[in-house]
Amino acid sequence: MIRCQSRLSATIFFTACCLLLSACGFHLRGSADIAEPLRQLTLKTPERSRSQLAPTLRRQLEANGVSVNKGKGYLLQIVSEKRSRREATLGANADIDEYELTTKVNFIVRDPQGEVVLERDIEAERTYDYDTDAETASNAQEAQLYTEMDKQLANQILRLYTHVQAATPTP
């Protein structure tokens, strides 16, 4: 009897939690609501440089139901992508204690008719402690932070792209 009551209480508690979460508008991250005309996209990157952001952005778009590089639909062009590292703080002996990493991206979205519907400059910054005694670990940490910034920027581009007003075809 007690076991049945505890199972019933757990079920009621779980149901109440689900109802409260759905009532407040909670939903899991990662799934964007993309209009049907925006689901066809060509991703273009700068020809002279190898884009670090493009593979991450492609995965984000495809995970959200966008067909990338099928040769039709909208065009998302990464115009420029710049990474920089500068000394953020120096220690007492003029040794570098922290580095600040920055990635800046300029991109344009064109509709199927070639009109620019979105143009933005976005950036991400991170700061990390640099240890001269563990240089390999610091370099690995820097690479990891650049990867995290790429994910952040790809997510920002995806969110901005989902808010583009889909062009209605002219008859």
pLDDT digits (tens, 9 = 90+) for 11-25: 787 777 766 766 665
**What average pLDDT does range 27-41 have in this prediction?**
71
Flag whether the pTM goes above 0.95: no
Question: Facing residues of 118 across strands?
Answer: 109
Q: Where are the domains of the chain?
A: 34-162
Task: Give the number of other CB atoms < 10 A from CB of residue 19.
Answer: 10
Residue of 61, 64, 65 lying closest to 75 (CA atoms): 61
If you classify domain 34-162 with CATH, what class do you get?
A: alpha beta
Count how many residues are written for the chain: 171
